Amino acid sequence: MDPSRLAEEFEQVLNVGIALSSVHDLEKLLDLILLEARRLTRADAGTLYLVKGNRLVFRVSQCQSLSDRLGEERMRQMYQSFEMPVSPESIAGYSALTRKVLNLGDVKQIPPEASYHYNSSWDQKAGYDTHSMMVVPMLNRENEVVGVLQLINAMSDGRVIPFRMEHQRLASSLASQAAVAIENAELTEDLKQAHLDTIFRLGVAAEYRDKETANHIKRMSHYCALIARGLGWSDEEVETILWSSLMHDVGKLGIPDSILQKPGRLTPEERKIMELHTNIGGSILKGAKAPVLQKSRIVALTHHEKFDGTGYTRGLKGEKIPLEGRITVLADVFDALSSKRVYKEAMAEAEVLRILTEGRGTHFDPAILDVFLGSLEEARRIQGRYSDREEDFDKLRGLGSTEGEEEDSAAT
């Protein structure tokens, strides 16, 4: 092989590796890995599996010729998630088990003494004709199998040919880079999930002494995300408000029980203290460097402002109220009215909508209210998904005994 061609191909692999390392979203990453592997090896189709325990979990499938024939949408519908054991009976399982590349010129001519055989059910279902196949294990630096790349039908001038050695080399190089990129994306995902979980628990803790349930903050944060999406925010911005609105009431941690849990109406003085929960929240979140916590602080400070300037803590008016505040105030009020609390029943939806509409331009930003009312269908689904059960209202139940803890505890 001539050096300049070799140099060019290596350059490609290097660039693909860099591209993979830059993608932190696992779904997008897996798509890109398969796409680049197919491109480097001129494969018409391919499938990517991840190893979870001793199972191979199907994650992505792509097929150029079928996509051209059926369209992307029909293609997507044809693939269903499935799992299979890491065992020598399947081609992908054999590769995962032996950590070896399998380069099969024609899957219909696998010798009978091989432990694996070709499963033609997919070909039959899709009306596809698989011949050449190359299966490449994705090994991490500890030589553990992270997943398996299955490349199908190498193309040359419109005909299917066996995969060439140079393609096997390229695919193997790509697979090593893919393995580390997958592990990094999973690490990033884990770190983000752990953080989200902590934020959620902080939010729940803040509602602990109050009459709210954990589902209130879940519903409310999803309403906020719904509105943000309706406003055309990016995925990342939507995710940020989903997270940051979880902590809107964190300042309630600083409000005395005597006020927070008072059964009747608050006196004007008590109300003043209660309203301090916005500032206390701001102070708990003060000085945070993480963008999501900075947004949380804005939410905590401004989720009781009203569009006409009659809200608290600062009496900001209209556009002076940060968008996050204008979104959360609506989500919060909607949830307060439409859900059951210990001291009241849920209000009928028509009545809730009447009240919201009455607040158009006074309590709520008209534009945001319109977006929300336009997504009512989805809001109802959120409501259904995170509806409160009776036991959610009895939060401290069982805490007095140590029995419940002992059963499941990791601490014993």
Query: Considering only residues 91, 146, 171, 199, which one is a binding residue for a copy of itself as defined by CB under 8 A?
Result: 199
Residue 298 is a binding residue for a copy of itself (CB under 8 A): yes
Quote the distance between the C-alpha of residue 352 and its chain's center.
31
Structural tokens at position 246: 């979880």
Active-site hit among 218, 252, 295, 306: 252
Contact predicate 56/91, CB 8 Å: no
Could you tell me whether strands 133-139 and 102-104 are parallel, antiparallel, or unpaired per DSSP bridges?
antiparallel
Which residues between 87 and 146 bind a copy of itself (CB under 8 A)?
Answer: 140-141
Residue 399 is a binding residue for a copy of itself (CB under 8 A): yes
Q: In the complex with a copy of itself, which residue's Cβ is closer, 247 or 352?
A: 247
The amino acid that residue 250 corresponds to is V
Residue 327 burial (C-beta neighbours within 10 Å; 0-12, 13-18, 19+) = buried
Residue 254 is a binding residue for a copy of itself (CB under 8 A): yes
Tell me how far, at minimum, the Cβ of 401 lies from a copy of itself, in Å.
8
252 tagged catalytic:
yes
Which residues between 36 and 75 bind a copy of itself (CB under 8 A)?
Answer: none
Residue 406 is a binding residue for a copy of itself (CB under 8 A): yes
Residue 268 is a binding residue for a copy of itself (CB under 8 A): no
Tell me how far, at minimum, the Cβ of 246 lies from a copy of itself, in Å.
11
Radius of gyration of the chain (CA): 28
Task: Give the total of residues touching a copy of itself (CB under 8 A).
Answer: 82
Residue 147 is a binding residue for a copy of itself (CB under 8 A): no
The amino acid that residue 109 corresponds to is Q
The amino acid that residue 340 corresponds to is K
DSSP 83: E
Q: Which stretch binds a copy of itself (CB under 8 A): 282-290, 333-341, 366-374, 381-389?
A: 282-290
Q: In the complex with a copy of itself, which residue's Cβ is closer, 5 or 380?
A: 5
Q: In the complex with a copy of itself, which residue's Cβ is closer, 54 or 208?
A: 208
- DSSP sequence for 105-120: S-GGG--TTSS----T
Contact predicate 151/134, CB 8 Å: yes
Residue 205 is a binding residue for a copy of itself (CB under 8 A): yes
Q: In the complex with a copy of itself, which residue's Cβ is closer, 123 or 166?
A: 166
Contact predicate 23/182, CB 8 Å: no
Residue 190 is a binding residue for a copy of itself (CB under 8 A): yes
- DSSP sequence for 230-289: HTT--HHHHHHHHHHGGGTTGGGGGS-HHHHT-SSPPPHHHHHHHHTHHHHHHHHTTT--
Residue 170 is a binding residue for a copy of itself (CB under 8 A): no
Tell me how far, at minimum, the Cβ of 326 lies from a copy of itself, in Å.
12
Helices 376-385 and 214-230: angle between axes, nearest 10 degrees: 160
Catalytic residue ranges:
252
